[in-house]
Structure 1
């Protein structure tokens, strides 16, 4: 491969093979420009159903539709050449039956060029994961806090404490056995996340879990300080672009009202400039 040759995007089998290796890096993306920014730095990029809250102002992920996921998946796909794209299956698109899940997953992959789908749920979704994988759909699982189930979980609460720990461990084992190539652990106690990571053969991707997981993921708008409706404990702000953006907009508004913008350098003369001699 030449120095200028483009690095090939990893496949689900490549992600699975990274178990216990250098930690996997992932972020969510919903637009082409954001995908372009993270493409060289992430192993995989998730088109998350969090788009409903982050970009569309919805109160939860429950109102996100297949059409929304496809639209944003297509946008992200245009911005990626090195990172693998995984796309969330929205609420109501896979829970009814394995057959429904296959139809939805096949549509998402066909219309967005995603390399894999992600779905929420542990033991009860294992048969569906098995059904999909056997039919050529790579699946990333998601256990612990599953945002599509907040109404039954009692909100955005930590999962896996006390008596819940054994059940969550079984969730992890079942999705791994069913054929998931990786599993997201969201808002899981650190010690339990470490035990799960040690006991299953697929990579664990932490979000509010443990640095000992096989990889990490954050919502990009959270870590850049663009989405500030609320801040989870597990989010680290690597920038404060929301504050910077608001300051820039305020400066623009002041200049417009004071007629300082546009300035001479931003407007056009009545006559086109004459070409320079010898040009």
Structure 2
């Protein structure tokens, strides 16, 4: 039996289960098709593509067109994986009408099954309006990369009691607004545990400890595709950057040495036709 696509109701039903579920990022058909071969239930077409694919210093410059453009091939590559499209900066904080229109675009033009947006109580009315309009919404609190500058940079959030209580209030507001799950990013594990225990929807942790209902990672970080600083919250399950560099160096060197292409990689022709060329 092949992979069966998780539905939004099935995601909700994962709340409090012993079995955890997972979500990782993808931005193209190649990586999506690899993920499709695994049990991983969800793919996020994240605005992290701004930093991992487009070379920006932050996620802020990512546009709606970027998200839609990258969602389309992911949907094609992973038809049996639940696809969540990120709402980029400026696509929902300008009003409920804009938020609904842009979320509809991500689903209708991009083909996503749901959308994700950052923020707590401040975006709860937007989430409620979107859900009432039939749009499945995933929340995201804690370290919110789109507004990291206001948070003092990419730092752990909710480290003191008051900040932790604020995160809990934000999470409850999103759940009450109708979000089907909430990403908790870069917060202390005990805080994530408290929030997870008090919500009736799944929590999805990235740098939030082991108590969440699901775990999330950026695929390029998980696979070690970058030769750079590895955040504390990331576990590298492979070091593909070194393997890729080694492979490219081997191609270059074999070309210089005349080893590649060999007979097994070359095409010949009939002897009589060859003679007619000279």
Hey, what does 1:277 align to over in structure 2? none
Q: CA offsets, 1:162-187, max 9 Å, x none?
A: 12111111111110111000000000
1:18 aligns with 2:17: no
Please show how residues 232-247 of structure 1 align to structure 2 within 5 Å: 232-247=231-246
The aligned residue for residue 168 of structure 1 is 167
Q: Residue 41 of structure 2: which of 38, 43, 55 is its match?
A: 43
TM-score (norm 2): 0.94
Q: Is contact 1:117–1:138 with CA below 8 Å preserved after alignment?
A: yes
Q: 1:170 to 1:273 in 2, by over 3 A?
A: farther
Runs of 4 or more consecutive aligned structure 1 residues displaced over 3 Å after TM superposition: none
Q: CA deviation at 1:7?
A: 4.5
Local SS of the residue matching 1:27: strand
8 Å CA contact 2:68, 2:106 repeated in 1: yes
1:191-210 correspondence runs (5 A): 191-210=190-209
Matches of 2:235 and 2:22 in 1, distance apart? 15
Secondary structure of 2:150's partner?
helix
The 5 Å alignment of 1:182-261 reads 182-261=181-260
Deviation, structure 1 residue 227: 2.5
- Tell whether the 8 Å contact from 1:141 to 1:183 is kept in structure 2 after alignment: yes
Q: Tell me what 2:75 maps to.
A: 77
Q: State TM-score, norm by structure 1.
A: 0.94
Q: Which runs of 5+ in 1 are unaligned?
A: 275-279
Q: Distance in 2 between matches of 1:12 and 1:149?
A: 27
Could you say what the CA RMSD is over the residues aligned between the two structures, in angstroms? 1.5
CA contact (8 A) 2:83 2:112 kept: yes
Judge which range, 79-88 or 123-132, deviates more: 79-88
SS at match of 1:112: coil
- Indicate if the aligned counterparts of 2:3 and 2:39 stay in contact, CA closer than 8 A: no
Q: How many residues align?
A: 270
Distance of 2:272 and 2:41 partners within structure 1: 49
Report deviation, 1:273.
Answer: 11
How far did 1:196 drift?
A: 0.2
Contact in 2 for aligned 1:8/1:81 (Cα 8 Å): no
Superposition deviation, residue 75 in structure 1: 0.9
